[in-house]
Structures are given as C-alpha cells and as structure tokens.
Chain A
Amino acid sequence: DSGVTQTPKHLITATGQRVTLRCSPRSGDLSVYWYQQSLDQGLQFLIQYYNGEERAKGNILERFSAQQFPDLHSELNLSSLELGDSALYFCASSSRDTSLRGNEQFFGPGTRLTVL
C-alpha cells in the first residue's frame, strides 16, 4: 500500500459527460501528480500541483482541469468526455526533501474511466 488513495476505482460514463476523480496524497506529501495511461501505453504526465499551486503542465487537454485543496487532496475534472478519454488515471505524490526518497513518486491504485 503506497499510502495514496484514489476514488472511485471504476467509472463508467457516456460521451459528453463530466466526471471528477479524487486523490489523497500520502500524509505529509505536498506534491500531487496526475498521469493518464491509455490501453497498453506508458503513463503520460498531465499536471502537477504543489501545496495548492499548479507547478507544471504536461499533455493535458483544455477539457481537463485539476486543483489541489488546502487539505492537499486533489481533484481531476474531465469534461465533454470523448471515447478516447477512456484510460487509467493515476495520481502520485511525493515529498520535497532532498533525499532520494523525496524524489520517488508513490502511485495510487488508479481510477479506470470508461467512456461509452
């Protein structure tokens, strides 16, 4: 158990809809990262938050947005869903200490999104 939790585990919805994925980082971790993994693909970085502030953006569509709340949990909002958005969405967290462990990312179990 990595200590990172994600809800829900599975989500099935229709095209055009909007969904929210939730992530709680490990206790004390200030950084949260979101990744998308399409079928049999590697993980693609979407966005990073650090202590409530957006820190970096990757290949995130304009239809997607995220935020990190004062309690450090994060939400990824996906709107106007398309069939191609079906994927596994991972959240990861890390601390900011200077040791190697501070540079390790701990992954949640993922949310599997199916768009029909």
Chain B
Amino acid sequence: AQTVTQSQPEMSVQEAETVTLSCTYDTSESDYYLFWYKQPPSRQMILVIRQEAYKQQNATENRFSVNFQKAAKSFSLKISDSQLGDAAMYFCAYRRRNNDMRFGAGTRLTVKP
C-alpha cells in the first residue's frame, strides 16, 4: 500500500522568508505522480504544484518549488518569499496513473507578519 508521511504537523515562517515542508512516501511503483495541495480556511483544495516521477527535473511554479528525491522517496515543498496568503494547511499527495490519491496528514503553515 502506498503511504504518505508529513512529519511536520505545524510550521511557521516570517513573511518574505523561505520555508520547506517535508513529505516522504512509500511505494513499489515506478510510474506515479506527486502533488502538493493547499487548503486555506475556506477548505477548498487548491493544487500548488505537481511532479511526474519519471522527470528528474524539479517542478517550479513561481515562488513554489519542490525537491524530488526519487531514490529517497522524498518530495519537499519550498515556499520562497512567503506571503500572508500562503498561510494554510498543505497536503502532500501521491497518485498512480488513473488511481485515487493518497494524502498525508498535512502541515499547518503560519506566516508571521
């Protein structure tokens, strides 16, 4: 079974600083996808960034980037120049092609002004 572990229940960062959220996963598959979702107080699930496992290059979306270490089964999210609007729950998720998503327990990010 695939499992996703987020070892940091809570993190905080100063506005304009950089923070890294950790995620590890367990799988025996070689073809899969990894995602980071943001869940603000509205509870809407918002896709932040995605990574295909076969790609060695780390995905980047503006201030958000990942450090994907396939051999170590690690998929961390780096948020640069943190903004107050980044405060939310962040969920790491794993998905095999056309299957359901497996989510981690989440990391609550607080941004201090």
Residues on A lying within 8 angstroms of B by beta carbon are: 31, 33, 35, 37, 40-45, 48, 56, 58, 88, 90, 92, 94, 96, 100, 102-105, 107, 109-110, 112
Contact = CB atoms under 8 A, between A and B. Distances in A.
Contacts of A45: 100-102
Interface in B35-54: 35, 37, 43-45, 47, 50, 52
Q: How large is the interface on B (under 10, 10 to 19, 20 to 34, 35 or more residues)?
A: 20 to 34
Contacts of A90: 45
A44 B91 CA distance: 12
A109 B44 CA distance: 5
Interface of B: 33, 35, 37, 43-45, 47, 50, 52, 91, 95, 97-106
Contact of A110 (B33, B43, B52): B43
Contacts, number: 55
Given A42-B103, A42-B104, A103-B33, A96 B44 contact: no
A103 B54 CA distance: 14
B43 A43 contact: no
Contacts of A105: 95, 101
The 6 closest A-B pairs by CB, nearest first: A107-B45, A42-B103, A45-B100, A43-B103, A42-B105, A103-B33
A104 B103 contact: no
B105 A100 contact: no
Nearest to B45: A107
B101 A31 contact: no
B100 to A, nearest CB: 4
